């Protein structure tokens, strides 16, 4: 069994998640080759074949061209699986490759169970195992689900080329908004989720944060709705935090939120839904309405 | 300018879920269904584009599924879409993303849509494949995970969300397909007058079998609840008692609460 792993590269750097692909291939028990649209200096440190195309020539984000390069590598390698990280790069490119191969795609794999691929359903409240019916299959793995393999080894580089004409024009990157608070240094973070209901209720959570000497955090919908500044957002598209104490108030525990806070030393979740996925990572789950419980707790600190 | 928006109806994620008796999907009994959150951003963006272009634009909203999905279509019409298409398929949950995409592509193929909007993923299945696969099947250019959208002179400028707050800006010519992400816009609530107006809008029904041309490429082997790791303490009951208990635990287990 052979797997072709598609590395990620951004702003001139190989992304560390590329080594999660290696870990996945090892768990799968597959022989591996890798493909990178990047630079020789940033080639992954692995033993084995790495197909390399130059990002200077093909661009870092240019999915219709990257698709052709990955297809060319597939042609040379003839793998059973083509594997991406389920990231903004992977979920964008994987379905294009799958459609061209007319191959099954299985998205955001969290585990391999009896040779079948396990994925989440309904915000991870259920699990599903999926099997491909096509000869080849395209897979994307959940970021963080397979701990990165060590970067050690010497790649054998094989240059790869493709037609570089693109229907899409990449204009450029826009950096993250400036931070007015650095959550990465906070020892206590009390975060507000959509469960707080409305903007007017955010001060209830902020008051607890203040009473405990911590910072206010937030889940994404709270930020998108403009209830809290983006700099307070915790998660894949926000900040990754690791405080001594993290309190999630009315947050369901979606993977993108967990990715930003699950390294916290101690996690308390306050949620009216006893089955909320946040319960899986919480050291203490308080089953309650946040708007009733949080003021009661705040009073204990004052 | 012909615009298509593809929407899915999904259960409220705060529901309790259990596997169905065949063990291949969740049991749909007793669930409340609503429009997939990501698709609400797609509908809103299409309607905003319609407002920008006026009557030069025409927005069709399409959903595949059993009869109940008409409710989601009605909401999209009340938000401002011009017409609805219901692809009737009571067994939609057993189709794989490739088949769903092929149904949409088969419907759209000879209609000359300039722009197609979809959500970046569904909340229940989360495959994040359908939009891109539709674009590939139709040969449209495509950008995913949009948190910014503008359109002028046949060119879409899309702001894609990458990790860690970084964004990537791309331009694509129509015909194009974009998938929409949280934060792209704030979906409007249908007003009562618009709900009344929407009642007069057409919803065409198409039998699913007429537009299904592809076999599934992947199969669900089983659906089951995750093994509960447990371990965590669960507090339930009186608020004041819970607050005291939690305070006790925090004092004992963390160094930051004294
Ligand atoms: C590409 C991508 C990137 C993303 N990046 C991020 C990110 O960086 N950060 C992030 O947070 N999300 C991110 N998300 C969104 C993520 O998938 C979820 O949608 C989000 O985390 C949900 O936020 P929430 O838990 O606050 O809201 P919901 O999922 O709506 O959950 C609300 C919770 O509150 C509970 N609740 C409701 N009312 C009450 C009450 N009165 N009292 C107590 N509990 C109550 C409910 O039971 C529920 O569990 C991203 C998504 C995508 C697709």
DSSP B134-170: HHHHHT-EEEEEEEEEEEETTEEEEEEE-GGG-EEEE
Which of A120, A123, A244 is facing B256, going by the closest CB pair? A244
Please give the annotated binding residues of A for FAD, written as ranges: 194, 219-220, 233-237, 250-257, 271
Distance CA A168, CA B126 (A): 26
- The token pair that represents B22 in the structure block: 């065949």
pLDDT tens by residue, B50-104: 999 999 999 999 999 999 999 999 999 999 999 999 999 999 999 999 999 999 9
pLDDT tens by residue, B12-44: 999 999 999 999 999 999 999 999 999 999 999
Give the neighbor-by-neighbor strand order of the sheet with A168-174. Answer: A168-174, B167-173, B155-161, B141-152, B176-180, B115-119, B2-7, B58-65, B83-88, B203-207
Predicted local confidence at residue B164, as pLDDT:
85
Domain ranges of chain A: 2-159, 188-299
Q: Is the pLDDT of residue B4 over 80?
A: yes
Query: Are A121 and B126 inside 8 Å of each other by CB?
Result: yes
CA of A250 relative to ligand 1 center, distance in Å:
8
Assign B16 to helix, strand or coil.
Answer: coil
Question: Is B169 in CB contact (< 8 Å) with chain A?
Answer: yes
pLDDT tens by residue, A150-167: 999 999 999 999 999 899
* Chain A residues with beta carbon closer than 8 angstroms to that of B254: 244-245, 265-266
Query: Are B224 and A127 inside 8 Å of each other by CB?
Result: yes
Q: What is the pTM of this model?
A: 0.94
pLDDT tens by residue, B40-65: 999 999 999 999 999 999 999 999 99
Radius of gyration of chain B (CA): 21
Assign B82 to helix, strand or coil.
Answer: coil
CATH number of A188-299: 3.40.50.1220
Produce one character per residue of A193-222: b if its CB has 16 or more CB atoms within 10 Å, e if not: bbbbbeeebbebbbbbbbebebbbbbbbbb
Question: Is B23 in CB contact (< 8 Å) with chain A?
Answer: no
Which of A125, A137, A285 is facing B17, going by the closest CB pair? A125
Query: Are A284 and B235 inside 8 Å of each other by CB?
Result: yes
Distance CA B184, CA A109 (A): 26
Cβ–Cβ under 8 Å, residues A259 and A235: yes
CATH number of A2-159: 3.40.50.620
Query: Are B129 and A88 inside 8 Å of each other by CB?
Result: no
- The token pair that represents B95 in the structure block: 């189709």
Distance CA B164, CA B189 (A): 30
- As a whole number, mean pLDDT of residues B133-161 equals 97
Contacts of B210 (CB under 8 A, 6+ apart): none
Best probe of the A interface among B128, B158, B181, B247, by most A CBs < 10 A, is B128
- Is-same-fold flag (A2-159; A188-299)? yes
* Shortest CA distance from A100: residue in chain B: B136
Report which DSSP code applies to B252.
Answer: H
Distance CA A270, CA A195 (A): 10
CA of A123 relative to ligand 1 center, distance in Å:
10
Predicted local confidence at residue B258, as pLDDT:
81
Cβ–Cβ under 8 Å, residues A120 and A108: yes
In chain B the domains, ranked by start, together with CATH numbers, are: 2-210 (3.40.50.620)
User: Hey, CA dihedral for A256, A260, A263, A269, is it positive or negative?
Assistant: negative
Query: CB of A233 closer than 6 A to ligand 1?
Result: yes
Predicted local confidence at residue B230, as pLDDT:
66
Question: Is B207 in CB contact (< 8 Å) with chain A?
Answer: no
> How large is the ipTM?
0.95
Best probe of the B interface among A105, A110, A253, A276, by most B CBs < 10 A, is A105
Give the neighbor-by-neighbor strand order of the sheet with B233-235. Answer: A215-218, A188-192, A245-249, A266-271, A284-287, B233-235
Query: Are B170 and A170 inside 8 Å of each other by CB?
Result: yes
Contacts of A41 (CB under 8 A, 6+ apart): none
Size of the A and B interface in Cβ pairs below 8 Å: 250
Predicted local confidence at residue A176, as pLDDT:
81
Per the listing, tokens 């699913």 go with B208
CA of B209 relative to ligand 1 center, distance in Å:
37
Query: CB of A195 closer than 6 A to ligand 1?
Result: yes
Low-confidence stretches of chain A (pLDDT beneath 50): none
pLDDT tens by residue, B167-206: 999 999 999 999 999 999 999 999 999 999 999 999 999 9
CA of A278 relative to ligand 1 center, distance in Å:
10
Query: Are B247 and A297 inside 8 Å of each other by CB?
Result: yes
- The Cα of B81 is separated from the nearest Cα of chain A by a number of Å equal to 23
- The candidate with the shortest Cα–Cα distance to B77, out of B63, B60, B57, is B60
CA of B57 relative to ligand 1 center, distance in Å:
34
Assign A151 to helix, strand or coil.
Answer: coil
Phi, psi of B225 (to 5 degrees): -70, 150
Helix axes A202-211, A290-301, angle to 10 degrees: 30
- The candidate with the shortest Cα–Cα distance to A281, out of A296, A265, A294, A297, is A265
Distance CA B157, CA B155 (A): 6
């Amino acid at each position: 069994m052979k797997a072709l792993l598609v590395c990620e590269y951004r702003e001139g750097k190989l992304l560390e998640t590329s080594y999660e692909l290696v870990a996945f291939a090892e768990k799968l028990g597959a022989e591996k080759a890798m493909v990178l649209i990047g630079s020789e200096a940033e080639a992954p440190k692995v033993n084995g074949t790495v197909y390399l195309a130059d990002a200077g020539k093909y661009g870092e984000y240019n999915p219709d061209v990257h698709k052709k390069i990955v297809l060319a590598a597939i042609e040379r390698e003839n793998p059973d699986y083509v594997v991406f990280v389920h990231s903004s790069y992977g979920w964008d490119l994987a379905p294009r490759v799958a459609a061209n191969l007319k191959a099954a795609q299985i998205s955001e794999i969290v585990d391999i169970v009896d040779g079948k691929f396990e994925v989440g359903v309904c915000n991870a409240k259920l699990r599903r195992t999926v099997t491909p019916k096509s000869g080849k299959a395209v897979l994307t793995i959940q970021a963080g689900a397979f701990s990165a393999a060590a970067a050690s080894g010497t790649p054998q580089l094989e240059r790869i080329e493709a037609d570089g004409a693109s229907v899409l024009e990449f204009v450029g990157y826009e950096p993250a908004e400036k931070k007015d608070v650095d959550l990465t240094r906070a020892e206590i973070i009390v975060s507000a989720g959509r469960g707080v209901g409305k903007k007017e209720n955010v001060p209830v959570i902020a008051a607890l944060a203040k009473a405990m000497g911590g910072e206010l955090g937030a889940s994404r919908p709270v930020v998108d709705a403009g209830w809290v500044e983006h700099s307070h957002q915790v998660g894949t598209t926000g900040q990754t935090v690791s405080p001594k104490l993290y309190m999630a108030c009315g947050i369901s525990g979606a993977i993108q939120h967990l990715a930003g806070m699950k390294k916290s030393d101690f996690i308390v979740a306050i949620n009216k839904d006893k089955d909320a996925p946040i319960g899986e990572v919480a050291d203490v789950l308080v089953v309650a309405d946040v708007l009733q419980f949080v003021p009661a707790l705040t009073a204990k600190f004052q | 300018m012909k615009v298509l928006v593809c929407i899915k109806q999904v259960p409220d994620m705060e529901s309790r879920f259990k596997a169905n008796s065949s063990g291949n999907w969740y049991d749909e009994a007793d669930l409340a269904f609503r429009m997939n959150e990501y698709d609400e951003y797609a509908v809103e963006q299409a309607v905003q584009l319609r407002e920008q272009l006026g009557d030069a634009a025409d927005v069709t909203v399409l959903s595949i599924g059993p009869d109940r999905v008409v409710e989601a279509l009605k909401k999209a019409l009340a938000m401002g879409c011009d017409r609805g298409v219901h692809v009737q398929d009571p067994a939609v949950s057993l189709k794989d993303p490739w088949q769903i995409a092929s149904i949409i592509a088969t419907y759209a193929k000879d209609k000359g849509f300039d722009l197609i909007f979809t959500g970046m993923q569904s909340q229940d299945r989360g495959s994040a494949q359908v939009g891109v696969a539709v674009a590939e099947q139709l040969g449209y250019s495509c950008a995913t995970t949009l948190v910014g959208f503008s359109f002028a002179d046949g060119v879409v400028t899309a702001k894609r969300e990458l990790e860690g707050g970084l964004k990537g800006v791309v331009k694509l010519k129509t015909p194009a397909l974009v998938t929409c992400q949280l934060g792209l816009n704030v979906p409007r609530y249908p007003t009562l007058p618009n709900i009344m107006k929407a009642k007069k809008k057409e919803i065409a029904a198409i039998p699913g079998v007429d537009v299904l041309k592809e076999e599934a490429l992947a199969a669900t082997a089983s659906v089951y609840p995750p093994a509960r790791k447990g371990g965590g303490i669960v507090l339930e009951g009186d608020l004041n008692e819970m607050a005291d208990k939690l305070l006790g635990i925090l004092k004992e287990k963390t160094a930051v609460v004294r």
